[in-house]
Structure 1
Amino acid sequence: MSVHELKRPPIEDTAEWRVDLPKALEQLRHWAQVSPLQPALRHKRHGQWFVWRWIDVLRDVERLADGLRQQGFTEDSRLALSGAFEPDLLLLALAAQHVGGQLLTLVDTLDAESLHKALWRSRPTHAFIQGRQTQQLWLNQGQTLLNFSDLLGPVDSPQRLSRWHKGPQLWSEEGTHWQNGLRVLLEQWLTSGHALAFPESPGSARRDRREVAPSGLLLSAERLQLLAAEIESRLAPQGTWRRRLCDWAIAHPEKGLQRLIKNRVRRLLGFHNLHYIWQATRTPDAQPAPNWLAEFKRDIA
């Protein structure tokens, strides 16, 4: 069996992975000016919630942009991001936009062969990777990985959150496995000016989501179905009187008793503040949202 070297395309075609954010910095500067001390990002780290204000986000983005320039990142460079969405990744994405370079997101579950092909085609000049196993795969491909702390330099740590700010809260528990997910997050966050929160890890997402009680969920189609399965597992089994009571309440929420039951179930699920779920435009083969989610779902073109 012979091994053939992959033929590089004469011109890199990065459309599959590229993230274009033409208005991101303009929107960030707007919120840093009109709401500088309001919460912009929240993330749970080592069991504690931390918060970045809008002015903190802008300052960190500017520092990271300087750090990228010191690492040779220019308008002709391409930064690849792979891993869970959280503040470090978002800030670095905005910093790359600040410098004017190209931004790419690659799935963090690629095997070695698939990753080799993707890197061969996209040819990133810089990379920021989360997860030790994924980092090792990229290192094995000869990629030099950026260190967030080195880029940011010595700055004050994010503020530890002592109490929740009353206001709209967006929530994400996604990563670069969601194609176009980073664009969706940044557009929804920077357009609305609402705080965007992230769990500490995928394993703690259910508990952390209940603590946040978000007003909006930013979910891929796959994550929506996982959430539906989670809800189903927490409700009474089908055919029981308690389940029939729940289904009756959701079907007739206009009456007092039904509304009381429905609101109690929503609180147990952490949805008592939920107003909408962002969801891409429905495709013909998409599964319908379950009853407990359908009322919140918005199809976005």
Structure 2
Amino acid sequence: MSVHKLRPAQAVKWPAEWVAGLPEALEQLQRWAQVRPLHCALRHKRHGRWYAWRWIDALRDVERLADGLRQHGFGEYSRLVVSGPFEPNLLLLALAAQAIGGQVLTLSDTLEPSALHGQIWRVRPSHAYVPDRQQLQHWLMVVGSSAAPQVLISDQQVPGSEVVGFARLIGPVEALQRLNRWWQPSGETALWSEEGTHWQGGLAVLFEQWLNSGQGLAFAQSPGSARRDRSEVAPTGLLLSPARLQHLADEIQGSLEPRSTWRRRLHDWALAHPQSGLHQLIRNQLRRRLGLQRLQFIWQASSVRQGGQWLDELKRDSA
């Protein structure tokens, strides 16, 4: 099978980018699969239910995906583009491509068809993974052109197309572990993401923070359900872009009373007096309302322009 001639790295510009740190990420995944094979590595809500991957499951899936990619012509001179929401399939497929020695890029998942076609022409991927239904339709419009990837992979089924289903790529695997509990074990930590490839540098951040720490990483079902899903996980750490952190800060500000009311003046007074019992009460109420009652860590919280004071408060340990 022929492959596109690879261009040098400097030819790639945002909204496409190379994924940094993948060799180290793969080594770390292998290490965690040996050190804590049965601990929870990944969680994702799908169709209203939570599913989990243990570290050993994640490594085995990477190995299966690498075999599937090879069977579909992916080699050390191939180029995989991933475009869509961050979730386990996307992360594991990127690691599988790295295991083979190919190149991995992200492409923003917010591009309109005309802009998307131009980026595909510039990047020239041999393989692409596009899980979102609407974006997949945009990609299918490029099929037949000289810039189209040879293999288009997706979770979505498109009758009459040659899209390779992710399930076909990974082959027969054991059923994912379903999480039915509503509580969180006191010692279990969980990083949280509700982002996608529109976050410049975001995938590298996820790999670094997740695999350096060895903590579990959880994903919302969709951006629209992020607040509810976050409340069910009660994460201990947030991995969000500056824009999404600002959205969370605005969400906090919006949950407070209007500035002209006595309740808002009481909130502001409490913020200025962190040792008061009222301050602790308001902070704990905000934690529970936003699903952040266990929060200990926010990646680059200093990037928030407005409303960041309450984000800093949410990072403090509960009294």
TM-score for both structures, normalised by structure 2: 0.84
Q: How far apart are the structure 1 equivalents of 2:41 and 2:64? A: 17
* Aligned partner of residue 23 in structure 2, secondary structure: coil
Match of 2:162 in 1: none
Aligned equivalent of 1:271, options 278, 288, 292: 292
CA distance in 2 between counterparts of 1:221 and 1:239 reads 29
Name stretches of at least 5 consecutive residues in structure 1 with no aligned partner.
1-7
Partners of 1:266 and 1:104 in 2: CA distance: 36
Please say if 1:232 is aligned against 2:253.
yes
Alignment-derived partner of residue 128 in structure 1: 129
| Distance in structure 1 (CA, Å) of the matches to 2:235 and 2:23 | 27
Q: 2:176 aligns with which of 154, 158, 165?
A: 158
Point out 4+ residue stretches in structure 1 off by more than 4 angstroms.
8-12
Residues 1:186 and 2:186 aligned together: no
Secondary structure of 2:38's counterpart equals coil
- In structure 1, how many angstroms separate the alpha carbons of the residues matched to 2:190 and 2:113? 37
Once the two structures are overlaid, the 10-residue window that deviates more, 94-103 or 157-166, is 157-166
Structure 2: which 5+ runs fail to align? 154-164
Q: 1:141-156, aligned counterparts within 5 Å?
A: 141-142=142-143, 143=148, 144-146=151-153, 147-156=165-174
* Pair 113,15 (structure 1): closer, same or farther in 2 beyond 3 Å: closer
Classify the secondary structure of the residue corresponding to 1:22.
helix
Query: Quick one: structure 1 residues 75 and 9, their matched pair in 2 at CA, closer, same or farther if it must change by over 3 Å?
Result: closer
Counterpart Cα distance in 1 of 2:195 and 2:28: 22
Conservation of the 8 A alpha-carbon contact between 2:18 and 2:105: yes
Note if contact 1:216-1:276 (Cα within 8 Å) is conserved in structure 2. Answer: yes
In structure 2, how many angstroms separate the alpha carbons of the residues matched to 1:189 and 1:141?
34
Matched-pair contact (CA < 8 Å) for 1:169–1:216: yes
Q: How far is 1:245 from its partner?
A: 2.1
Render the CA deviation track for 1:57-87: whole Å, top value 9, x for unaligned: 0000100011001111001110000000011
Greater CA deviation, 17-26 or 58-67? 17-26
Identify if the C-alpha distance between structure 1 residues 10 and 207 changes in structure 2 by more than 3 Å, giving closer, same or farther: closer
Q: How many residue pairs get matched? A: 287
Distance 1:28 1:132 in 2: 29
Over 3 Å counting, the alpha-carbon distance change for 1:102 and 1:208 in structure 2 is same
Match of 1:201 in 2: 222
Q: Structure 2: how far apart are the matches of 1:178 and 1:57? A: 23
- Find the counterpart in structure 2 of residue 287 from structure 1: 305
For residues 6 and 78 of structure 2, the distance between their equivalents in structure 1, rounded to whole angstroms, comes to: 17
2:65 matched to which residue of 1?
A: 64
1:10/1:170 CA distance change after superposition, 3 Å:
closer
**Is contact 1:39–1:165 with CA below 8 Å preserved after alignment?**
no
Q: Secondary structure at the match of 1:23?
A: helix
* Contact 1:82–1:128 under 8 Å retained in 2: yes
**Deviation per CA, 1:107-139, whole angstroms, max 9, x where unpaired?**
111112211211111110000002222111111
The answer on whether the counterparts of 1:253 and 1:262 sit within 8 Å (CA) in structure 2 is no
AA aligned opposite 1:127? A
Q: In structure 2, what is the equivalent of residue 3 of structure 1?
A: none
RMSD: 2.1
Partners of 1:293 and 1:101 in 2: how far apart? 40
Q: Tell me, in whole angstroms, the C-alpha distance in 2 between the residues paired with 1:10 and 1:57.
A: 31
Q: Does 1:256 align with 2:257?
A: no
Q: Which residue of 1 aligns with 2:26?
A: 25
TM-score by length of 1: 0.89
- Cross-structure match for 2:46: 45
Corresponding residue of 2:76: 75
Q: CA deviation at 1:249?
A: 2.3
